[in-house]
Amino acid sequence: MPTVVVLSTADPVTEPVTVADAVVEWRLDLVATDTDEAAQAERRLIQRKLAAARQLVEAYTGRYVAGGQTLELTFRLDEEYKLPTGAVATAVRGFHTSLASLENFHWVEYLKGSSVERQWPLGYAAQQTYTVTVTLPETASSLCPALMQEAILELGAEFYRNRETSSAAGIVPRELPVSYKVKLAPLVLHPALF
């Protein structure tokens, strides 16, 4: 799986789970109907919690679903070149210098033509990398699997309920709880099914 860096996001990004979805799921009747400043502030808070949950789920699964993001994907030379669904490659740097050379590259053919030099360690060619800059379309959020949406909703609810830190010394755990890992495991282990 390539290393991913989020360069920028559209303002606002197209989220796969909306505040309206969360209000219904979490049964927040007052927030849904009130139009005062306090209710609007609460909706902004819910939006931040959902965005944080989505970012955590994206980082865990390696699947990016918020429309309007610009990403940098760094691949090793021997990795399969596969972009997120609907993503458009805009630039490449590193081993490949153009998108055309990248699309016509075949690892097996490269290995057939390469010679082994004694000064380089075994597998050195596979350690070379290239970085592709891609943009996700605004419609990327519509391709978000239901399992991912459920995990975002549940994790967002957890963030919303527990706004203050509750761990020792105020350190917030950075890893997903086991229940979310179980829900997201199929997306990580079998991405072709979703």
| pLDDT value of residue 36 | 82
Any alpha helices (H) in 62-166, and if so which ranges?
99-103, 107-113, 146-161
Crossing angle for the helix pair 19-26 and 146-161, to the nearest 10 degrees: 70
Q: How far apart are CA 42 and CA 30, in angstroms?
A: 10
Please give the mean pLDDT across all residues of the chain: 80
List strands edge to edge, sheet with 129-135: 3-14, 67-76, 129-135, 88-94
The percent of residues in the chain predicted with pLDDT above 70, rounded, is: 79
Average of pLDDT values for 42-61? 89
| pLDDT value of residue 95 | 86
| pLDDT value of residue 72 | 94
Max CA pair span of the chain:
72
| pLDDT value of residue 104 | 83
Question: N- to C-terminal Cα distance for the chain?
Answer: 17
- 50 against 30, higher pLDDT: 50
117 pLDDT higher than 80: no
Q: Which two three-digit tokens encode residue 89?
A: 């490659």
Q: What is the DSSP string of 120-143?
A: SPTTTGGG-EEEEEEE--GGGGGG
| pLDDT value of residue 90 | 93
Q: How far apart are CA 103 and CA 99, in angstroms?
A: 6
pTM above 0.85, yes or no: no
144 pLDDT higher than 90: no
